[in-house]
Amino acid sequence: MPSIDEIMGHAQQSFLTYKQTSAASKSAFLEAIATQIEAVKEQLIPLAASESNLPEGRITGETGRTLGQIRLFAKLIAEGSWVEATIDTADPDRAPLPKPDIRRMLRPLGPVVVFGASNFPLAFSTAGGDTVSSLAAGCPVVYKAHPAHPKTSRLVAEAIQKAAASSGMPDDVFQHVEGGIEEGQELAAHPLTKAIAFTGSFGGGKALFDTANARKNPIPVFAEMGSVNPIFAFEGKLAANLDALAAAYVGSLTLGVGQFCTNPGLIFVPETLADGFAASVGEKMQAVAQAPMLHEGIAKSYYSALRRLSDNGNLTWVTVSNTEDIILGSPAFARVAASDWIKNGDFQEEVFGPFGIMVTYRDVSELHEAVAALHGQLTCTVWADEAEIASEQALLSLIEEKCGRMLFKGAPTGVEVGYAMQHGGPYPSTTDSRSTSVGVYAIKRFARPVAFQDMPSSLLPEELQDSNPMQIWRTVNGNWQK
């Protein structure tokens, strides 16, 4: 493998050409990536399933999601308005000073280092949302493969590189790097790296964030690092739908053996309904079979976390695995009073697996106190009827401060890839709550605004030319035009 210096040097050389590539050409490149992945799908799906321990049905769905988000970004950049083109034309006769011609748009940052995720070998990995949104923004990608699924990553990397060659993209617009923590840290510290995208543990994301901020020239790190995604159950809603909501909770908690970043590891339940809800959850969990976790290391960490929590006398166990398995994950559920939960920060730490804590609260005042103590989350879910929502606006406003996505129906597992999705939240769920790693807004992580003043018209980017060759919506002298 080339040295990190050589890899980043190639990425920078590629950037100087790639950032000048037309939106139409970049869109065609993304479409070609999707086509190349489709061509190896029959080989890819069983390979990814074997390396991740995920069933082929899940991988088939994830393949569709991956292809869908690639094509969504291809459509986005072909349409073009994401660059926020803004034109403020000159007025040479303005007094007392002439007004210059200023034109502003978003431009790519430079080479981006993307780290793959263990739990999504396709959709959050080699050709996942971070890679595709970087390429869509005009940034070359140096992809650091996750060691949990190396063969899958290599196969997808080859597909991307074939797409680049067939689309006439510059050499090294996408590079695939394997290695461990040392290589990852070297990539984060390299002066030619302009941004980092990461999905994984708090420890891993925070280490990259610290490295990036210790550099001579700090760079943005968009790290998704973990969340317990609390559900807040109100008395009226829960009383009327207790068994159905218990089933929805268990289904979400145990989906994919609990290995989703949106897994609802916390649920707040009124004391009046806690016994009934716990009994219903416990009964439904008994019917959930053990299933393989992503790899042995994750299974070991899961059971280690349960052992650590079992030493806490404030927790009462509703369902707990009596045996540990080297790879199989078994659901577990515990309860604790809100007063004790508030005092102990350990109860807010993510346990990556099918484990949840029910926090019982006396009244809305105590729930308000618990929300105030809550760390930043990717999601918060509110189970309440309309009257309860209307009467607790102050509490809902506080919940909004704690998350990136608020749900009022269902459970948080399942992240729609689209135009309005927000998959990111306040620290420590992510390092930058203003960004998302899912949906079209993810592209803006890897771009910055640049203003061109009195630039000759023939040299302007096509999005800023008077003729508007792309026919995009933009702001001209304060008015939207196409």
d(CA 338, CA 477): 55
> How many Cβ atoms sit within 10 Å of the Cβ of residue 84?
15
Active-site residue, 139 included: no
From 62, 139, 186, 261, active-site residue: 261
From 31, 224, 350, 366, active-site residue: 224
Beta strands in 326-477 (DSSP E): 328-329, 332-337, 355-361, 377-383, 403-407, 447-453, 474-476
Q: Is 43 exposed, middle or buried (0-12, 13-18, 19+ CB in 10 A)?
A: exposed
d(CA 205, CA 422): 19
Active-site residue, 224 included: yes
d(CA 400, CA 382): 11
What the block records as the tokens of 99 is 């007004």
Sheet containing 403-407: give its strands across. 316-319, 332-337, 355-361, 266-270, 231-233, 377-383, 403-407
Beta strands in 194-265 (DSSP E): 195-199, 221-224, 231-233
What the block records as the tokens of 345 is 């920060």
Parallel, antiparallel, or unpaired for β 141-144 and 112-115? parallel
**What single DSSP character describes residue 91?**
B
Residues with catalytic roles: 224, 261
